[in-house]
Amino acid sequence: MKILHQLLFTGSILLIILSVGCKSQTATSISKRREKTAFQTASIWKPTIDIRADIAIIYGTSDHDTITFERRVKSWRDKGYTPHFMTGMAWGEYQDYFVGKWDGRTHLDEGQVTQEGDTIWHGKDTPYIVPSENFIKYIQETQIKRAIDAGIDAIYLEEPEFWARAGYSDAFKKEWTNYYGSDWRPQDASAENTFLSNKLKYFLFYRALNKCFTYAKAYGKTKGLDVRCYVPTHSLINYSQWQIISPEASLASLDCVDGYIGQVWTGTSRTPNYYNGVEKERVFETAFLEYGCMESMTAPTNRKVFFLTDPIEDRPRDWQDFKKNYEATFTAELLYPNNENYEVMPWPKRIYEGLYKTSLDSNQKETIPRFYSTQMQVMINALNQMPISKNKVSGAKGISVLMSNSLMFQRTPKPLKGYDDPNFSNFYGLTLPLLKRGIPVNMMHLENVAYPASWKETKLLLMSYTNMKPMQASGHGHIADWVKQGGVLIYAGRDSDPYQNIHQWWNEGENHFETPSADLFTRMHLNRNPHSGMYSYGKGTVYVIRKDPKEFVLTSEGDISFSEIVKKLYEKKAQEGKLIYKNSFYLERGVFDLISVMDEGINDEPYKQQGKLIDLFNPELPILKEKIVYPGQCSFLLDIDRIKEIHKPQVLASASRVYQEKRTAKTYSFVAKSPLNTTNVMRILLPKRPTTITLRNSQGQVLKEMTQSWDTYSKTCLLKFENNPDGIAVVIHW
């Protein structure tokens, strides 16, 4: 038997050595079969950024010296990745268009221009664009066509962004005349002009994406390709707060749009907001709402969405800052158990090779520390196996907040007379008082209320027309029908802002409503302008609060009365049971536990989780019997007791992706791949303490530098060694 074991052991080594140096068939089949994890890069393949996701999204068609776009695509395809293509919709390396090399005419006059006459630039000779018909043709012919000719069947046109402060260029004035059939009006002159200007900005990128994606699908068919089209975009929450206009939810109903990338990360989620009269960053809470916003856009229309998070951000910070806030956004994205698709990072070259401050008070810079790259790789490799779950995040279910694309239309560089919404507080006034009490509030898009799936789990709906206006009357019919069938609606707003009086559907033609809410109330057989209080309609309930939502968060304890109303209606009218307040969120998702404990909550109690746990936010992957999570912290754990096939040898957590697993009665072998210049740490479940562990590189050379330790309680081996994208063959014998 000893000889047989030795032969099996030796044979496993030889089989692994033979396959490590060539393109992994397992990796290739996975990338073709799965499109679960992705990253975007403008770089050719490099060993230092080979992060082993399923998809490499190649950015831009630009050629740099001898490195052509096609060569970049091939370099990633040859390493087993499925290549997709991404480029900017509002900006990009389009200097040939702007300086006249493409069609012989300069187009710098198509940039977005502010009231002061300044062009808003994204880079040298690259303004943010007013997307003309000519520019659409340029994107089709120079970007989309070339990508499809390279065999790519997924196109991403990212960040269709029109700044609220723009709208004064001749190009925009021309589009105004074509769209409205009247002379251009300066948006700063009135609320109506602002609304109309931003509505046009919204339409221009809606038109651009519709035409570009329609072209992509048609051209793809001529090449025998079924081209998928995605929009990488910030959340509606972030664009509204940053005063940017984009098509957002309306795109989800277009046949030519297959989905989105939800661009949520530290840079968006750390935007300060108000709660309890205090203005500060609330990264976890904001991220949770942003991801919820993206899910609300896509789930009712069955569109795919990749949730993005970024281990760093655009603005330079220190590594500890990056780590803390990355954990917060990462936890927030995983608290949505119905999504399993992720862009694990953008720009790996920036992450692995960029220089950032070693600490907040230091001017010294360094590349990513090993502790952080190891932790980060453990996290992104967990995403490769993250399951959809039927479990729900802890907290009362069924409370939703209505939102609309028109949230972007009332945003202005300077407050208009009669209207001010500091830090987007009319939105956060309806959401943060609930979130801070441990209620996982849902988002609902007004653009999607015609889809039955939008209403699936909503028992109590919060809405306001203070900071948004309904684009069509039809949504009111769906809301009224839902209330009639037993829904509970809370409407908060004074309805006194100047946008109530703009010329729109509610006061045009046969409609003579002073406000859009008057149409909704009339449909529910109420007075056009009901006072604060509770009303009945059919089997349902309407509660009117004559305060703007911002009043709930701009002052200390301003949300107490509001939260009491929500609690009373939830328990007595929605009859959903007791509304329990807490300071934390918890979700069991397969073998993973997600925990977030908020500060500013109802108390300062920590959350305690017990089990046979691996701490995945700790690069040492320690085994714990109990994890204590304090306010302001998040945790990502793996519970070993929930592992399926607990007696089967397997890698539980790793800072590398594992391929070519093989098992015999006495051995377990695999190949581990991850970027060069990073350290791998692995927690491996085994039947017994290993007697030997052998590592070999792709040339078959034995590697001596490794550390290992055995944990009897969990029956796991902790193994550490240096990563290599060509693969490290590991054979464990017991």
Domain ranges of the chain: 399-572, 584-642, 648-733
pLDDT at 360: 87
Asked if 602 and 582 touch (Cβ cutoff 8 Å), the reply is yes
pLDDT at 11 over 60: no
Q: Which of 732, 712, 714 is nearest to 615 (CA)?
A: 714
With a cut of 60, say whether residue 78 has pLDDT above it.
yes
Beta strand 460-463 with 488-492 is parallel
Q: 523-576: per-residue pLDDT in tens?
A: 999 999 999 999 999 999 999 999 999 999 999 999 999 999 999 999 999 999
| 58 token code pair | 């190649």
Angle at 249 (CA atoms; ends 334, 311), nearest 5 degrees: 35
Average pLDDT over residues 303-308: 97
pLDDT at 316: 87
CATH 3.40.50 fits domain 399-572: yes
Q: What is the dihedral of CA 240, 246, 249, 255, to 10 degrees?
A: -170
Q: Which CATH architecture has domain 648-733?
A: Sandwich (2.60)
Per-residue confidence band for 65, with pLDDT thresholds at 50, 70 and 90: confident
The reported pLDDT for the residue numbered 33 is 57
For residue 441, give every residue at least 6 positions away whose Cβ sits within 8 Å of its Cβ, in sequence order, or none: 289, 292, 399, 400, 401, 431, 434, 435, 462
385 DSSP assignment: T
Q: In the predicted model, is pLDDT for residue 6 greater than 60?
A: no
Identify the pLDDT of residue 253: 87
Residue 14 has pLDDT above 50, yes or no: no
pLDDT attached to residue 315: 87
Mean pLDDT over all residues of the chain? Answer: 94
| 21 has a pLDDT exceeding 80 | no
pLDDT at 324 > cutoff 80:
yes
Buried b (16+ CB within 10 A) or exposed e, 28-66: bebbeeebbbbbbbbbbbbebbbbbbbbbbbbbbbeeee
User: Whole-prediction pTM value?
Assistant: 0.94
Three-class SS state of 175: helix
The confidence score (pLDDT) of residue 414 equals 87
Task: Using CB atoms within 10 Å of the CB of residue 276, give its burial: 0 to 12 exposed, 13 to 18 middle, 19+ buried.
Answer: middle
Per-residue pLDDT tens digits for 98-154: 999 999 999 999 999 999 999 999 999 999 999 999 999 999 999 999 999 999 999
Q: What is the pLDDT of residues 638-668, one digit of tens each?
A: 999 999 999 999 999 999 999 999 999 999 9
- 399-572 shares its CATH topology with 648-733: no
Q: Is the pLDDT of residue 242 over 80?
A: yes
**What's the average model confidence in pLDDT over 590-608?**
97
What's the CA gap between 95 and 363, in Å, rounded? Answer: 35
Q: Quick one: average pLDDT of 678-688?
A: 98
Digit-coded pLDDT (tens) for 384-418: 999 999 999 999 999 999 999 999 999 998 889 99
Query: Does 28 have pLDDT greater than 90?
Result: no
Q: List strand residue ranges (DSSP E) for 568-715, in order.
A: 584-589, 592-597, 607-615, 623-629, 633-639, 650-654, 657-663, 667-673, 679-685, 692-696, 702-703, 707-711
Average pLDDT of span 256-284? 97
